[in-house]
């Protein structure tokens, strides 16, 4: 347990009231919610909820115990709407039932997965035939019900899971009148790979490789959040040099993602020249990544207790590329904002109202473009962010253009942060001594990935092996908000809205 | 005018000038492995790829996306990505094949016209990679579809993907990649 985590045990029946009063009194939002199977030691499951706000660097973590023979608790979704996916996930994974939850459907597993089978329980087993039928799509129980929109002239458009472009799989069900969308219902978790269960079967040191492969474009953020959780749990203190290198690489990741996203949004408006220019700049940054770390996606550079390479030895290459990128990015932005067609398509498209974003606990670019100043680098300073002049940009228009412009602002900010980091001198080694992982301890790790806040919660067992690793990627809490931004838009604008959020399917599906 | 074009072709003027920061022009890399003539003979300058994400982390997809950027510009070799499996010669599957995606992958393969090839792309598409042994994956594309060719890397850089695609084309013309699926 570490200094900014406040664990409070509450009774099962008081949990809901406690969460409500916490939200009201401290102006906090739900960051993540998860369960742990502690039947072997405590003869119960534990359900944790992590809250934190923008003003204070404290995580409030109420938790309650729940017995196996009475696996029911009162749902908090009606008063904390951000909890609705977490509760459904806990129901799928542990079989703990949130009473009064508005959505009785499964979240993670599709209809061919056997009922009453909960993979994250420690004693979970599944037969070969069940696994085979799961893959073959044999429907076990009632099929997944999509919300039916009825009326004259309403048609349903099913899209996916295999899409036209080179993107990840997900199913979208549009109900539309002519071109205008009335309702959108996404169905995800096609790329569910059992990541959290897999973490439990490897050591904490190998886990970093898996964390890097949860979501491709935010590989480094995932490895940082994971290593931070493990380091906090084991009481490993890193030195300034390591922090600076990690911060630098995080900003580099943000840079290539944001510029790539801005360029990629042009694909939604068929502005090919913008797309090509964006891809060119992104390619330059990816090649810089490769030069610095050996991996275009910054994999293999981070490890528990440090980094594997001192990237600041190549200061000249860094500043050369950064200068070039800045210049070309200015050109790109000038080009995009000079294209009336592009700007008009983006204006007013995919509007996500602030109230809905706040209620659903939306994070990252989507939250900041809707007027919420949500930035975990600012509210919970970590790594080298204490010493940097970090600005949190917000916009109030809350449409696709706002999300694009916000990314452009953050690119500027990242460029200046990178310059500030490269200018300093650092001394010491690039890794510190890592001792044994202490048994029966737990901690939270977090960082701001290009898509938003990212959390890992790790717990070790009696031998210092992983007992539970919970990860929450920013896409997981942003996906439920997407259907609220779509109605009223036309079907051809959906890819544009989707690209303006740019959410990861793999990070969400785990 | 014709003379000018001919001279341009002879002197191999490149449309894009590569800035110094690129380590090596992909042209240099590719020219060493390209049997352009043979490829043309077999595929008539065209290989149409349907990319399917079967549970990858999205890194492979980003690299496939980068193939069509002005630097790699894979279309100049006649290779292109198509939206519909009906238009595809090749299915390029990434990821360890998550069980919830297995059916969609198979259906995409079935929807493709004969003859068809399967390429697995990325380390987890080979044998599950880091996801090997998970309850929710099939440990590689090989367990679901008859794979003809594998592109290694995690993720494979665009250069590797182009190289392997061109190698595959050469392989087919020399008979070393019999399409298992047909």
Domain boundaries, chain B: 27-173
Measure in Å the smallest separation between the Cα of A284 and chain B Cα atoms: 8
The Cα diameter of chain B in Å comes to 64
Mean of the per-residue pLDDT values of chain B? 76
Q: Measured between beta carbons, which residues in chain B are less than 8 angstroms from residue A131?
A: 99, 135
CA distance A414 to A420: 10
Say if the Cβ atoms of A109 and B100 lie within 8 Å.
Answer: yes
DSSP code per residue over A133-184: HHHHT---SSPPPPPP--STTEEEEEE-SS-SSS----EEEEEEETTEEEEE
Residue A457: phi and psi, rounded to 5, are -125, 125
pLDDT of residue A414: 92
pLDDT of residue B156: 92
Indicate which of A93, A138, A166, A220 best probes the interface with B, i.e. most B CBs within 10 Å of its own CB.
Answer: A166
**How many residues would you count in chain B?**
182
Domain A5-136 listed as CATH 3.90.550.10: no
Say if the Cβ atoms of A216 and B56 lie within 8 Å.
Answer: yes
Instruction: Give per-residue pLDDT as tens, A272-307.
Output: 899 999 999 999 999 999 989 988 999 989 988 888
DSSP code per residue over A280-303: HHHHHHHHHHHHHHS-TT--SSEE
8 Å CB contact between B25 and A140: no
Instruction: Give per-residue pLDDT as tens, B116-139.
Output: 888 999 998 988 888 988 888 888
CA distance A242 to A309: 10
State pTM to two decimals: 0.89
Inform me whether the pLDDT recorded for A160 exceeds 80: no
Nearest to B103 among A137, A197, A286 (CB): A137
Name residue A184's beta-bridge partners. A174
Residues 6+ apart with CB under 8 A from A280: A328, B69, B70, B71
Domain boundaries, chain A: 5-136, 154-187, 195-509
DSSP A424: S
CATH code of A195-509, in short, is 1.10.645.10
Mean pLDDT for the stretch of residues B5-17: 54
pLDDT of residue A392: 87
Mean pLDDT for the stretch of residues A382-409: 88
- Cβ neighbours of A81 (radius 10 Å): 17
If one compares B121 and B78, the residue with the highest pLDDT of the two is: B121
Question: Looking at the complex, does the CB of residue A267 fall below 8 Å from at least one CB of chain B?
Answer: no
Question: Looking at the complex, does the CB of residue B53 fall below 8 Å from at least one CB of chain A?
Answer: yes
Residue A340: phi and psi, rounded to 5, are -60, -35
Confidence of residue A259 (pLDDT cuts 50, 70, 90): very high
Instruction: Give per-residue pLDDT as tens, A100-128.
Output: 888 888 888 888 888 888 888 888 888 88
Helices marked H in A13-139: 15-26, 84-94, 128-136
**How many residues would you count in chain A?**
510
Chain B residue whose CA is closest to A193: B136
DSSP B122: S
Mean of the per-residue pLDDT values of chain A? 88
8 Å CB contact between A204 and A466: yes
Say if the Cβ atoms of B21 and A324 lie within 8 Å.
Answer: yes
Tell me, which fold does domain B27-173 have in CATH? Rossmann fold (3.40.50)
Whether a cis peptide bond, with omega within 30° of 0, leads into B182 is no
Inform me whether the pLDDT recorded for A456 exceeds 90: yes
Nearest to B69 among A110, A198, A276 (CB): A276
Q: Measured between beta carbons, which residues in chain B are less than 8 angstroms from residue A189?
A: 100
Residues 6+ apart with CB under 8 A from A463: A439
Region for residue A342 given its phi and psi (left: phi exceeds 0; alpha: psi -120 to 50; beta: otherwise): alpha
The Cα angle at residue A237 between residues A232 and A243, in degrees rounded to 5: 100
Region for residue B132 given its phi and psi (left: phi exceeds 0; alpha: psi -120 to 50; beta: otherwise): beta
**ipTM of model:** 0.89
Instruction: Give per-residue pLDDT as tens, B160-174.
Output: 999 888 887 777 666
Inform me whether the pLDDT recorded for A141 exceeds 80: no
The tokens of A107 are what?
């979240």
- The H or E element spanning position B66 is helix B59-67
Question: Looking at the complex, does the CB of residue B39 fall below 8 Å from at least one CB of chain A?
Answer: no
CA distance B38 to A333: 43
Q: Measured between beta carbons, which residues in chain A are less than 8 angstroms from residue B138?
A: 135
Confidence of residue B52 (pLDDT cuts 50, 70, 90): very high
With tokens 């900041």, the residue in question is A368
- The H or E element spanning position A211 is helix A204-212
Please name which of B61, B55, B119, B121 lies closest in space to residue B90, comparing C-alpha atoms. Answer: B119
- A195-509 matches A5-136 in CATH topology: no
Residue B30: phi and psi, rounded to 5, are -70, -40
Inform me whether the pLDDT recorded for B21 exceeds 70: no
A10-15: long-range contacts, CB 8 A cutoff, minimum separation 24: A10/A62, A10/A63, A10/A64, A11/A64, A12/A64, A12/A65, A12/A66, A12/A73, A13/A74, A14/A64, A15/A47, A15/A49, A15/A62, A15/A64, A15/A73, A15/A74, A15/A76
CA distance B125 to B96: 5
């Amino acid at each position: 347990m570490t200094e900014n985590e406040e664990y409070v045990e509450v009774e099962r029946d008081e949990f809901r009231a406690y969460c409500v009063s916490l939200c009201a009194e401290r102006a906090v939002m739900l960051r993540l919610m998860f369960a742990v199977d502690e039947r072997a030691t405590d003869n119960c499951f534990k359900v944790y909820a992590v809250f934190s706000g923008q003003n204070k660097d404290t995580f409030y973590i109420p938790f309650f115990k729940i017995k196996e023979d009475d696996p029911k608790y009162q749902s908090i979704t009606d008063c904390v709407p951000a909890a609705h996916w977490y509760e459904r996930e806990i129901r799928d994974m542990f079989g703990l039932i949130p009473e009064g939850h508005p959505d009785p459907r499964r979240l993670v597993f599709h209809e061919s997965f056997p009922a009453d089978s909960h993979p994250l329980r420690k004693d979970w087993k599944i037969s070969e035939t069940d696994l085979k039928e799961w893959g073959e799509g044999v429907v076990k129980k009632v099929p997944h019900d999509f919300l039916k929109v009825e009326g004259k002239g309403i048609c349903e458009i099913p899209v996916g899971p295999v899409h036209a472009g080179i993107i990840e799989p997900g199913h979208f069900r549009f109900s539309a009148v002519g071109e205008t969308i009335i309702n959108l219902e996404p169905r995800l978790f096609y790329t569910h790979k059992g990541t959290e269960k897999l973490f439990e079967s490897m050591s904490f040191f190998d886990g970093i490789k898996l964390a890097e492969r949860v979501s491709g474009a935010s590989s480094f953020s995932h490895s940082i959040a994971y290593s931070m959780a493990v380091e906090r749990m084991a009481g490993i203190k890193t030195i300034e040099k390591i922090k600076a290198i990690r911060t630098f690489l995080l900003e580099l990741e943000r840079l290539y993602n944001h510029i790539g996203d801005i360029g990629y949004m042009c694909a939604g408006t068929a502005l090919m020249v913008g797309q090509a220019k964006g891809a060119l700049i992104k390619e330059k940054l990816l090649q810089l990544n490769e030069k610095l770390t050996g991996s275009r996606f910054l994999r293999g550079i981070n490890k528990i207790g440090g980094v594997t390479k001192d990237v600041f030895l190549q200061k000249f290459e860094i500043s050369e590329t950064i200068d070039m990128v800045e210049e070309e990015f200015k050109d790109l932005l000038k080009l995009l904002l000079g294209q009336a067609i592009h700007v008009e398509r983006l204006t007013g498209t995919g509007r996500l109202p602030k109230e809905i974003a706040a209620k659903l606990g939306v994070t990252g670019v989507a939250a900041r473009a809707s007027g919420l100043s949500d930035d975990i680098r600012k509210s919970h300073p970590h790594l080298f962010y204490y010493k940097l002049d970090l600005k949190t940009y917000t916009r109030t228009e809350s449409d696709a253009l706002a999300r694009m412009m916000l990314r452009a602002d953050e690119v500027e900010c990242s460029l200046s942060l990178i310059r500030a980091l490269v200018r300093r001198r650092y001394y010491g080694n690039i890794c510190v001594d890592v001792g044994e992982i202490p048994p029966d301890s737990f901690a939270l790790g977090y960082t701001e990935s290009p898509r938003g806040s990212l959390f890992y919660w790790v717990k070790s067992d009696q031998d210092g092996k992983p007992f539970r690793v919970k990860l929450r990627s920013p896409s997981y809490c942003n996906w439920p908000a997407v259907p609220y931004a779509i109605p009223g838009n036309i079907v051809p604008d959906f890819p544009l809205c989707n690209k303006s959020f740019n959410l990861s399917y793999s990070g969400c599906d785990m | 005018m014709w003379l000018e074009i001919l001279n341009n072709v002879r002197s191999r003027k490149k449309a894009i000038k590569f800035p110094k920061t690129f380590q090596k022009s992909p042209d240099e890399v590719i020219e060493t492995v390209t049997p352009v003539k043979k490829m043309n003979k077999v595929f008539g300058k065209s290989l149409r790829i349907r990319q399917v994400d079967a549970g990858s982390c999205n890194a492979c997809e980003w690299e496939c996306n980068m193939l069509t950027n002005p630097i790699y510009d894979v279309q100049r070799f006649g290779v292109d990505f198509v939206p519909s499996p009906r238009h595809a010669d090749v299915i390029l599957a990434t990821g360890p094949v998550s069980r919830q995606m297995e059916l969609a992958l198979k259906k995409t393969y079935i929807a493709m016209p004969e003859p068809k090839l399967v390429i697995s792309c990325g380390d987890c598409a080979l044998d599950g990679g880091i996801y090997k042994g998970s309850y929710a994956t099939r440990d590689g594309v090989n367990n679901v579809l008859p794979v003809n060719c594998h592109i290694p890397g995690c993720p494979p850089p665009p250069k590797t993907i182009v190289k392997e695609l061109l190698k595959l084309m050469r392989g087919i013309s020399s008979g070393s990649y019999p399409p298992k699926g047909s």
